[in-house]
Structure 1
Amino acid sequence: MLTIGDKFPAFDLTSVAGGAAGLTGEFVQISDKTDEGKWKLVFFWPKDFTFVCPTEIVAFGKMAGEFKDRDTVVYGVSIDSEFVHLNWRLHHEDLKHLQIPMLADIKRELSDACGVLSGDAGVAYRATFLVDPDNIIRHVSVNDLSVGRNPQEILRILDALQSDELCPCNWKQGEAFLKV
C-alpha cells in the first residue's frame, strides 16, 4: 500500500459529477491533472448500494465546502461503473444532493496502484489519502470494510498538514502549536 511520502499514482477515470450536473446523466473525465496544484482528498469505498458507504459519502459531500475553503478537492472512488454511480445517485435520497464527484475505477487500476484492494472481497478498502499540491501523499488511513470513517478527523488532519507547524494530539484549527 502507498504511504506518506509516496507519489500519488496517475489516473484518468470517468465520473458522475458532483452537484446538480451529476443528475443529468453526463459523465466527466477526472484525472490526476484535473485539479493540478491543489490539495486532493481521495477516498475509496467498497461498492455502491451498500449500507455504510452512503453514510461516509454523504458526510464527505456535506463538508465539500469546508475542504474547498482549504483549496482541497474531494474525489470519491469505488470499483463500480459510472452507470451504477448514476443509478445510485438517482435512487438514494441522500446522494441526490451530493456535491462531490463519484469516480468509476471499474478496471481497479487506481485501487490496485494505491494498494487498497481487498484480496478476499475484490473491492477497495475504506482508504483515505490526503495528497499535497505536488502530488505527494501526506496522510493515509485505511478502515476495515465494516467501519466508516470520520470526515471531521480528515479535515482536522488537513488543517494540521497545511499549517506546516507541530500540532499536538487532538489539535484543532485556531489552537496553539507546539513550540520547540
Structure 2
Amino acid sequence: MLTVGDRFPSFKLTAVEGGPKGLDLNTAFTTVTEADQAGKWKLVFFWPKDFTFVCPTEIVAFGKLAREFEDRDTVIYGVSTDSEFVHMNWRLHHADLKDLPFAMLADIKRELSQGCGVLDKNEGVALRATFLVDPEGIIRYVGVNDLSVGRNPQEVLRILDALQTDELCPCNWQKGEDVLKAA
C-alpha cells in the first residue's frame, strides 16, 4: 500500500459529477485525472460498493463537510470499483446522495485501487482507504478501515488542518489552537 511520502498515482477515470449536473444523464459524466485541480490539496477516499449500508453514511458525511474542505483549498474525490452508471443510479435513488457536492469516480478496471494498494484481496473491492495528497502530488496522510467500519470525516478534516500548518501539532490539536515549538 502507498504511504506518506509516496507520490499519488496517475489516473484517468470516468466520474459522475457532483451537484445537480450528476443527476442529469446529459451532463452527469466527466473524466477526472490527477492533474485536474492543479495546485490544490486532494482528499481521495475509497469505499467498497455502492448500494450498501456503511458507505453512504461516510459519503454523506464527507459531503456535509465539502464546504470546509473547499475553504482549505482541497478537492474531494470519492472512488469505488463500481461503474459511473451504478454511481449515478445510486445518487438518483438514495435521497441523501442526491445533493452530493463532489465527483464519484468509477475505478471499474481497479487500476487506481491497485495502484494505491487498497484492493481487498478477498472481496476484490476497495478498502475504506483515505488519502490526503498535497498540491505537489505527495501523499501526506493515509488511513484504512476494515470493510465493516466507517471512518470519521471530521478527523480527516482535523488532520488536513494540522498538515496545512506545516508545524508540530500535538494529539487532538484543533485549528486555531497553539502548535508545539521545538526547544
Picking from 30, 35, 38, the partner of 1:36 is 38
Q: 1:9 Cα deviation (Å)? A: 0.1
How far apart in 2 are the matches of 1:57 and 1:32?
A: 20
Structure 1 letter corresponding to 2:131? F
Report SS of the residue matched to 1:106: coil
Q: Map 1:7-22; keep pairs closer than 5 Å.
A: 7-22=7-22
How far apart in 1 are the matches of 2:93 and 2:172?
A: 38
Q: What's 2:84 paired with?
A: 82
How far apart in 2 are the matches of 1:128 and 1:122?
A: 18
CA RMSD in angstroms, aligned pairs only: 0.5
Q: What's 1:108 paired with?
A: 110
TM-score (norm: length of structure 1)? 0.99
Q: 1:179 Cα deviation (Å)? A: 1.2
Report SS of the residue matched to 1:142: strand
How far apart in 2 are the matches of 1:41 and 1:151?
A: 10
Moved over 4 A (4+): none
Q: Which ranges in structure 2 are unaligned for 5 or more consecutive residues?
A: none
Q: 1:126 Cα deviation (Å)? A: 0.1
Report SS of the residue matched to 1:74: strand
Q: 1:30 Cα deviation (Å)? A: 0.5
Q: Deviations over 1:132-160 (max 9, x none)?
A: 00000000000000000000000000000
Q: 1:37 Cα deviation (Å)? A: 1.1
Report SS of the residue matched to 1:113: helix
Q: Which ranges in structure 1 are unaligned for 5 or more consecutive residues?
A: none
Report SS of the residue matched to 2:57: helix
Structure 2 letter corresponding to 1:134? E
Structure 2 letter corresponding to 1:6? D
TM-score (norm: length of structure 2)? 0.98
